[in-house]
Amino acid sequence: MKLVRFDDDKTGLVVELSSGPHVVDVVASIGALIPEDPISHGVLNGLLKDNGSWAPLIQHWKMARSGLRRLAILAQTAGSSQIVLRRLDDLKVSSGQPDRINSLDIGELNATSRDPTGREAMERQFAETRPDPTGRGTVATPTTDRVIQLSNVRTNR
């Protein structure tokens, strides 16, 4: 997730659309969160309404990230009229003061490596552990339980 400062210190969220990179004006677009996520609306409004520092946003990241993710999803959905989008190429990215951060790229661990099927979690759950003979931890022990793959193809027997 990448945030940028533009047009006199407004906060923008960079999203990749089929027509190229765009920026969501976060404060101008948070009204889109009210019907489904009023908590994220309140959090983002409180943290960013005065074009202030990003320090509180980082400090309260667990609460702020869900609203930002939701805005990114809404921006990528056609027909979302409450999202204020601008082409990244058309923006005057704030050069700002020398001691201010003008862009922030936030990467989260496991954000892209989650297993949507839950298979890895099930495999870990069924694996038993025993002490490692070298004394450095534990070693997985195979069990009689196993994870099976289900298929929707019927076979005649």
Q: How many CB atoms lie within 10 A of CB 117?
A: 9
Residues 6+ apart with CB under 8 A from 133: none
**66 and 132 housed in the same domain:** no
Q: Are 61 and 69 in contact (CB under 8 A)?
A: no
Number of domains in the chain: 2
Q: Is 124 helix (H, G, I), strand (E, B) or coil?
A: helix
Per-residue pLDDT of the chain (157 residues; tens, 9 = 90+): 899 888 878 889 999 988 889 999 998 898 888 877 888 888 888 888 777 778 888 888 888 888 899 999 889 886 667 899 989 888 876 665 666 678 888 887 654 556 666 666 666 666 655 555 565 555 555 555 555 666 666 667 6
Give the domain range for residue 129.
115-149
Beta carbons within 8 Å of 53's beta carbon, 6+ residues apart: none
Residues 13 and 33 in one domain: yes
Task: Assess whether 80 and 55 both reside in one domain.
Answer: yes
- 50 with 87, same domain: the answer is yes
Q: Quote the pLDDT of residue 98.
A: 60
One-letter amino acid at 84 equals: V
Taking the complete model, does pTM exceed 0.95, yes or no? Answer: no
Question: Residue 90 gets which letter from DSSP?
Answer: G
40 in helix, strand or coil? helix
Q: Assign 25 to helix, strand or coil.
A: strand
**Burial, 39: exposed, middle or buried (Cβ in 10 Å; 0-12, 13-18, 19+)?**
exposed
**How do residues 16-26 score in pLDDT, each as one tens digit?**
988 889 999 99
68, 23 contact by CB (below 8 A) = no
Check residue 121 and give its pLDDT. Answer: 67
